[in-house]
Chains A and B, each alone.
Chain A
Amino acid sequence: MKEDYTYVVLADDDEDDRLFFSEAFDELKMQTKVDIYKDGVALMLALNKSDSILPNILFLDLNMPMKSGLECLKEIKTNQRFKDIAIAIYSTSASEEDIEDTFVNGANIYIKKPNNFNTLKKILSDVVTMNWQYHTNGLNKDNFLLRL
């Protein structure tokens, strides 16, 4: 049982956000592996392959063309195979409605995209560490709600 890194996947249609995201992970203390998709359709296509390696944490932008983050979330939640993936919503929106709606639909984490890079690093580090605690201590993922 060797799991000494966290596998992270992001789906985001904004190029700058994708770039910041992967750079932030490069500078984290914890071992991570990051894969990035440009939209929800590409993400779901990759996840749905029967031999796909599943991420420990999946970050979803909410507003994406063709398939939104919420649609991806709902689709993921109907598939038992994906039940162990922690889902983080990663959005510019901070409307209470979006937050509650995604949590109710099964998201574990809601992140409002920060404006500065250092804050982003801090937030992503917190997310990975918290997920690690749930993962290594057998805590109940159904109760895993985190808003940053």
Chain B
Amino acid sequence: MKIFIKFDFTQFCSKVIDEKLTELGIKYRMMNFGEIEFLEIVPEDKMQAFDSILTDYGIEKIENQKVILVQKMKDTIIDMVMNANENINVKSSVYLSEKLGHSYGYLSNLFSEVTYTSVENFIILQRIEYAKSLMINTELSLTEIAFKLQYSSVAHLSTQFKNNTGITPTTFQRIIAKRRELNANKN
């Protein structure tokens, strides 16, 4: 005889964690799924017992605070690029370190370690990507886009665009336009 089952993974994990933490007598609160807040200090031996239970069930504790911090850096940078005109005069290094409460040296080393790229390159990439979407989705001219993204001139934007993508903004626009035309003809 065969039967088929279907299970709710989230419910299953929550239940396992709830049972085990109650068993160990640890007071906790389940935040959005995936985040657990302990309401009191957990003794080392209980924490180890909990860790080994998690491992048995194939649940992994994310120890990596670094990854979380890098994600916060990325979010901050993207926000900074999208709202460029609101924080004039603040250098991105100063802005990041103030916002996240770590020295820029620490942050930039960490960033390179985790993402295979530097903070500077990531900022450039995000600005270029934003410029691309403005070119395609709005009527803004290249001059207006350069201004909006805080480039000192159109030439600066064009040079950075070319260095980053290997093509000029004009070629980019032409290719995307032709692609759309091609796809429209197919349909």
Contacts and interface: CB of A to CB of B under 8 A. Distances in A.
Interface of A: 29-30, 100, 103-106, 110, 129, 132-133, 136-137, 139-140, 142-143, 145-148
Interface residues of B, number: 21
Interface of B: 74, 115-117, 122, 125, 129, 132-133, 136, 165-167, 171-172, 174-176, 178-179, 182
Contact of B117 (A103, A105, A110, A129): A129
Nearest to B136: A143
22 contacts: A100-B174, A103-B179, A104-B178, A106-B179, A110-B166, A129-B116, A129-B117, A133-B115, A133-B125, A137-B74, A139-B129, A140-B129, A140-B132, A140-B133, A142-B176, A143-B132, A143-B176, A145-B167, A145-B172, A145-B175, A146-B166, A147-B165
Dominant SS among interface residues on chain B: helix
A132 B178 contact: no
B132 A147 contact: no
A1 B99 CA distance: 29
A102 B8 CA distance: 45
Given A139-B129, A146-B165, A104 B179 contact: yes
A148 B166 contact: yes
A56 to B, nearest CB: 14
A92 B120 CA distance: 32
A146 B171 CA distance: 12
Contacts of A110: 166
Which of B74, B115, B116, B171 lies at the interface centre, i.e. has the most chain A CB atoms within 10 A of its CB? B116
Nearest to B167: A147
A85 B136 CA distance: 22
B165 A145 contact: yes
Contacts of A100: 171, 174-175, 178
A109 to B, nearest CB: 9
Contacts of A146: 165-166
Contacts of B182: 104-105
A137 B166 CA distance: 21
A98 to B, nearest CB: 13
B136 A132 contact: no
A146 B167 CA distance: 7
B112 to A, nearest CB: 11
A36 to B, nearest CB: 24
Given A129-B116, A129-B117, A140-B129, A103 B166 contact: no
A103 B116 CA distance: 26
Contacts of A29: 116
A133 B122 contact: yes
Nearest to A110: B166
Nearest to A105: B182
B132 to A, nearest CB: 5
A8 B49 CA distance: 41
Contacts of A139: 129
Nearest to B116: A129
B125 A147 contact: no
Contacts of B174: 100
